[in-house]
Chains A and B, each alone.
Chain A
C-alpha cells in the first residue's frame, strides 16, 4: 500500500517526542564555547585585566570595538600594567560574535559570556560601555535590564579561553595557561576535550524508522 504509507508515518509521529521545547520557559543548555555578549575580566585583587593595547579593536572585522588606552594613575592604578583601557565600547549592532577579539587579547581581559538574549530598544543601549562590560565586584557579569539572565548563567563565562591551549594543541589539554579571575580564582580547564574532539556530534534521542 505505497499510497497509504505516508499516513502511517504521520500518525506514528504524533506519539513521538517533540523536537521543540517551550523556549522562554525552558532553555536548552548552551555549548561550552558559545559566543555571547562579552565581559571585561578583572584579576582576583580587583585589578582590571585590560591594558588598553587595542589589539581587539585592531582584529575586529566588524569594527565594533572602540578602545582608548591611557597611562595608569601612579597612586591608584586600574590595571597591573603600565596602561589601562580608559574607554572601552562594543557596538552590539555591529558585533558578529566571531570572538577574534578574545583570541587576540594577550591578557584574557575580554572573554565571552553565554548571553545572547538581549534586546535593547534604543541605539544608545546597543553600545556597551566599559562600565557595563566590566565584571562586578563579585566577578559576575553585570546584568542589564534588557538582558535575560537566568540563575547559573553568569558562572559559565570564558569557556573558550579554558580550552586546550591558545594554539589549540591537544598536547596542552588539562594544563592551566590562564590567570585567575575575580570571584572565581583560577578556573579549572574544560573537561574531556580530547573525547569531545573525536566523538561524533551529540544527537538527541534517535528516531525510529
Chain B
C-alpha cells in the first residue's frame, strides 16, 4: 500500500509535510515523556497512599520540566578510567532508537494536508516490524556501551545484565511479534493495523498468549520494573548510568521513559488495533488519534501498575522465565497459529488441527518438563560431588 503522499512523486510540499510530521512526532515524544514521568510518579504515589509531586505547576505537572532544567545545569562528570568517546556516545545510542522506533507507528487514519492525502505516520516501510525489532535491539547498545565505557565495576555489571536480559527476551518478543505478522501477512505496521479493523484485534484473534508474552518481554526489554535488574539500586547503585550525570544522565532518563511510551505504542499497534475504534460521524480524522492515545494511556498505566505491584526478579528467576517458559511458549504458539492458518488455507478440519496442535503441545510440554528436571538433577549431583 504505502503512503498516498508519495503517489504524485516527491516535491517541495511533500518534503515539507514529512518534515512537519518529524517535528510533530518529536514534540509529541518529548511532551509524552514529560507527561509519563509525572504520570508514573503520581499514579505510583496514589498506589502507595502518598501525594506525589505537587509543587511545580498545577498538580505538579511541571515537576519533570524543573528536574530537566536542573539536570542541564549540573556538571557533566567523566570518570578517570572512562573511554571518553564511547562514554559520550552511549546516551545518544540509547535515545536515538527510542525516537526512531516511533516513526513507523500509525497514530491515526488518513488525513488531508494542503490537498495532499497522507497517513498519520511518519513512514510506512514494507519492513516496519523488522525496523521496530532492530531499534529495540540497538537501544541495548546504549546501555551496554555506557556500562562498559564507564570504567567502573557497577556499571559494567549492569551492562552485562542488560545484554544477557536482552538476548533472553528478544527471542520471546520476536516470536510473539511474529504471530502478529503471521496474522496480517505483512511486515508493514499500516497493514497490521488495517487487518485488525472492525474489532478483529490481534489480542483475541491470536489468543491472549502472544500479547501477554509480548507485554512481559517488552517490559524486560525496556528495563522497567520488575525487570530492572540492569539498574537495581540495592545491588548496583545506578547500574549502567552510575557514572553519568547532567545532560548525559538526562538523555538516559529520557530514553528510558520514551522507550516505555514507544513500547506501549507498539503493543497498541500490534495487538490492539492501533487507531481502530468505533466510527463517529463528526471530526472523522480526530477520533482515531483519540483512540490511539487512549489505548496508549491504558498501557502506560499498566506499566506503572507493574512497577507498583511486582518486586524485582532475581537473576536466575529472570533467566528461568525467559528461557524455560516464555521462549518455548512463544514458539509453540507461533507454530499453532501457523498450523491453523495452513489448515484454513488447505481446507482441513479446524478441530482436528486444533486437537493435533494441543496434543503436540502437551507432548512438548512433558518433554520439556522432563528435560528440565533432568538438568536440575544433574546440577544437584554436580553440587554434591566433591
Contact = CB atoms under 8 A, between A and B. Distances in A.
A7 B49 contact: no
A20 B308 CA distance: 18
Contacts of A21: 51
Contacts of A16: 49
Contact of B51 (A6, A10, A13, A18): A18
A22 B51 CA distance: 8
B355 interface: no
Interface stretch (B40-48, B84-92, B114-122): B40-48
A75 interface: no
B47 A6 contact: no
A13 B44 CA distance: 10
A7 B46 CA distance: 14
A9 interface: yes
Select the residue from A10, A13, A18, A22 with max chain B CB neighbours within 10 A.
A10
B49 A19 contact: yes
By size class, the interface of chain A is: 10 to 19
Given A20-B51, A22-B54, A14 B309 contact: no
Interface residues of B, number: 12
B7 interface: no
B1 interface: no
Nearest to A17: B49
A176 B367 CA distance: 85
B47 A19 contact: no
Contact of B47 (A13, A17, A22): A13
Contact of A18 (B43, B50, B305, B309): B50
Contacts of B54: 22
B50 A19 contact: yes
B310 interface: yes
A21 B309 CA distance: 23
B50 A6 contact: no
Contact of B48 (A7, A13, A17, A22): A13
Interface in B36-67: 43, 46-51, 54
Given A6-B309, A7-B309, A13 B46 contact: yes
A6 B309 CA distance: 6
B325 to A, nearest CB: 13
A7 B305 contact: yes
Contacts of B43: 14
A27 to B, nearest CB: 14
B305 A10 contact: yes
A9 B48 CA distance: 10
A137 B76 CA distance: 55
A22 B43 CA distance: 17
Contacts of B308: 10
A7 B305 CA distance: 7
Contacts of A18: 49-51
A10 B49 contact: no
Interface in A1-57: 6-7, 9-11, 13-14, 16-22
Contacts of B310: 6
A20 B50 CA distance: 5
B47 A14 contact: yes
A7 B54 CA distance: 25
A9 B49 CA distance: 12
Nearest to A23: B51
A75 B205 CA distance: 101
A19 B50 CA distance: 6
Interface in B262-314: 305, 308-310
A26 B159 CA distance: 45
Nearest to A12: B47
B309 A20 contact: no
A20 B53 CA distance: 12
A98 B54 CA distance: 35
Nearest to B304: A10
Interface in A61-94: none
A18 B49 CA distance: 4
Contacts of B305: 7, 10-11
B51 A9 contact: no
A207 to B, nearest CB: 8
Select the residue from A9, A14, A17, A21 with max chain B CB neighbours within 10 A.
A14
Contacts of A9: 309
Contacts of A11: 47, 305
Interface string A100-129: 000000000000000000000000000000
A18 B48 CA distance: 8
A73 B46 CA distance: 64
Contacts of B50: 18-20
A10 B46 CA distance: 9
A14 B46 contact: yes
Contacts of A7: 305, 309
Interface of B: 43, 46-51, 54, 305, 308-310
9 contacts: A10-B305, A13-B46, A13-B47, A13-B48, A14-B43, A14-B46, A14-B47, A18-B49, A21-B51
Those 8 A-B pairs whose CB atoms lie nearest each other, nearest first:
A14-B46, A19-B49, A6-B309, A10-B47, A10-B309, A10-B308, A13-B47, A20-B50
Given A18-B49, A22-B51, A22-B54, 13 more contacts: A10-B47, A10-B305, A11-B47, A13-B48, A13-B49, A14-B46, A17-B49, A18-B50, A19-B49, A19-B50, A20-B50, A20-B51, A21-B51
